[in-house]
Amino acid sequence: MQAIIDSTLFEQWWLDCLNVTQALTAQQKKYYHFGEAIFAIHFYHDDSCFFTQAIAHVELTVNDTHDFQIDVIDGSIAKLPTWFITQHLTTLISHHFTVSDNQRFILHYQKNTQVIQFIDLASNRAVVWYAALSLLPAWERSFPFRQILHHYFENTDYCLIHGAAVGIKGQGVLLTAKGGSGKSTAALACLSKAWLYAGDDFVLYQTKTNTLYSLYNVAKLTPQQLTRFNGLQALSIAIDNDMDKQQLFLYPPYQSQLIRKLTLTAIIVPRYEASTEMCQLIPITAAHALFCMAPSTLFLLNAKQDSFNKLAHLCKSIPTYQLNTNDQLDGIPLTLQTLLN
């Protein structure tokens, strides 16, 4: 849970941090489309690949304006002022999240990886500082900036959802469940049959328009699961030792199938059982869908009540199904296709 610290202290440290960025020259200025918002990301070092490989499919070539700016600073280029961290070290370590009393500033401090994410929701700007790339866990590469995206969108009609999304001709389904339920396998089974793919792990949902937006072009599979997808084994793969999974970056090889947004038609909760006779859809209650979608989404993002309310509203708004799957991957797109015709 979060701790709260006086906003005047936060503001002073924020200004100190901005002074650091202003003294630097950005080596790369990139723009990305998340939802209908444009994010400018400034990198103050040459190699931005760790942070950009998963979001390369939503990069804009050039843009004059942006809605949010992120400054990414490598520890070898510059240090952030330490007085705030030193002063509140115990609080920052024990709470992980610290928020200013006026809710304007949010600070994530990860002591083990030495990463600081500092967000100012008033100026729509964030600073990400890390001591060294070598200290960052491999899984961070697959969903960069998710906390910043979450905090920016949480106060809007968008919300991040832990799940995958695939579709046909602009219509899509959300695959959601806790890890190990078969989300990634189901999504990749559809990708291998030429379906559109809007992402895995986290997707962005807009309540007003019932639209799912892509965030990350990544899929994660165990080495054993990967052997079932012949075409995927040649992709750029990063090993994730912590999660025992491999990260597959689908851009650029699957560029033509990566879709930025889909209209959501159904929520699907995959359930793998080798003994299942045939792949089939079974209607489930909205409560059961929320039960499968909300806890992992909320826990992974430390989300507020507003996010829970959006997820509950979504589950009540559209059809919800359990997808029973077995080892016959072809059955997954064939079965889901019945929802999109």
Residues at the site binding other proteins, with contacts judged by CB under 8 A = 1, 93, 95-97, 111-112, 178, 285-288, 290-291, 294-296, 298-303, 305, 308-309, 312, 316
Residue among 203, 73, 201 at smallest CA distance from 141: 201
Contacts by 43-50 with C-beta closer than 8 Å and gap 24+?
43/72, 44/71, 44/72, 44/73, 44/74, 44/77, 44/78, 45/72, 45/73, 45/74, 45/76, 45/77, 47/133, 48/72, 50/133, 50/136, 50/140, 50/141, 50/144
Min dist. Cβ of residue 287 to other proteins (A) = 4
Q: Which helix (H) or strand (E) holds 234?
A: none
Min dist. Cβ of residue 192 to other proteins (A) = 29
Min dist. Cβ of residue 89 to other proteins (A) = 14
Min dist. Cβ of residue 309 to other proteins (A) = 8
Residues 6+ apart with CB under 8 A from 264: 165, 172, 173, 174, 205, 210, 211, 212, 314, 318
Min dist. Cβ of residue 289 to other proteins (A) = 10
How far is it, in rounded angstroms, from Cα 130 to Cα 291?
35
| Cβ nearer to other proteins, comparing 290 with 340 | 290
| Cβ nearer to other proteins, comparing 96 with 271 | 96
Residues 6+ apart with CB under 8 A from 330: 189, 193
Write the DSSP assignment of 134-180 as a string of letters.
GGS-GGGGGSTTHHHHHHHHHTTTEEEEESEEEEETTEEEEE--STT
| Cβ nearer to other proteins, comparing 169 with 316 | 316
| Cβ nearer to other proteins, comparing 214 with 307 | 307
**Tokens representing residue 324 in the block:** 């029973």
Residues 6+ apart with CB under 8 A from 178: 292, 295, 296
Min dist. Cβ of residue 218 to other proteins (A) = 18
Min dist. Cβ of residue 290 to other proteins (A) = 5
Min dist. Cβ of residue 193 to other proteins (A) = 31
| Cβ nearer to other proteins, comparing 250 with 303 | 303
| Cβ nearer to other proteins, comparing 30 with 95 | 95
Contact 216, 249 (CB under 8 A): no
Cis before residue 252, ω within 30 degrees of 0? Answer: yes
| Cβ nearer to other proteins, comparing 29 with 316 | 316
| Cβ nearer to other proteins, comparing 181 with 325 | 181
